[in-house]
Amino acid sequence: MPSKFPEIQGGGSLILAWQIKGKEVLVIGGGEVAAGRIVNLLNADAKVTVVCPRDGLNEEVAYRVDRKQVKHVDRVFLPLDLEPEKNVAMILTAIDDPEASTRIWKYCKKLKVPANIADVPPECDFYFGSVHRDGPLQIMVSTNGNGPRMAAAIRRQIGEMLPEGTGDSIKKVGQLRRKLRKIAPGKSTRDISKRMGWMSDVCDQWTTENFNAMDEDDMNTLVQYYEGGKVPTFEEIRLGSRDDVVWEFDGSFGWM
């Protein structure tokens, strides 16, 4: 008999959105791999320090250093870079020295600092996936270290399948949620469940195009339906509240 519960599929990773904003991250190395890691970290608003001799920085990493987007320590890694007072939240190595990378990884394990050793899956506490980004939308594809290039191809396919304007529609949903919390600020479990349930219904019934077309007046009108538990259509919102929209019958309904 098939189980009514999900089957366990071991061997995966726990996919998380790590909130690294404002936290200290150490990147060891200054080549192409390091450059990619730095972009991801800066997009997440991390405070990045690059440890690498100046002559080891590639053009992109040198640009980040010169623009003061990252701090730079002009030498090889030393244990003092992970002293407790530095409050390093994670460390990433991207150097062409497997033995040095392993020594750094072991030191990180001793200090309980999460580490990613580039191209050495057994020495990684976490992996980087291939990410599709559209404003607030982020979709990560991970092959758990088996095929990074394939992950990139799958990520591109997913991005091409998404409706145009998906990121913008998500921004509108975020604005709508904030408005809803203002008019219904209750913090009890019942209040939270009701807000989440109503927002879920709105997202299920409205299309990406509806959210993209929604303006401030539409949002203000929509949240007024919350207490009654109704989710109106986008057309009902516009028809009921907008004087600038003219609804006329032009005989084009296709009646025979």
**Strands laid side by side in the 88-93 sheet:** 71-73, 47-51, 24-28, 88-93, 115-117
Q: Residue 27, Cβ neighbours under 10 Å: how many?
A: 26
- Tokens 């091409």 sit at which residue? 160
Six token digits for residue 192: 């939270």
Q: Burial code of 49-77, b = ≥16 C-beta within 10 A, e = fewer?
A: bbbbeeebbeebbbebbeeeebebeeeeb
Are 223 and 179 contacting, i.e. CB atoms less than 8 angstroms apart?
yes
Catalytic residue among 119, 125, 134, 168: 119
Q: Is 217 a catalytic residue?
A: no
| 242 closest CA partner among 223, 256, 222 | 222
Count of CA atoms in the C-beta half-sphere (13 A) of 96: 4
Q: Is the CB of residue 90 less than 8 Å from the CB of residue 5? A: no
What is the rounded distance in angstroms from the CA atom of residue 93 to the CA atom of residue 29?
6
Active-site residues, by number, are 119
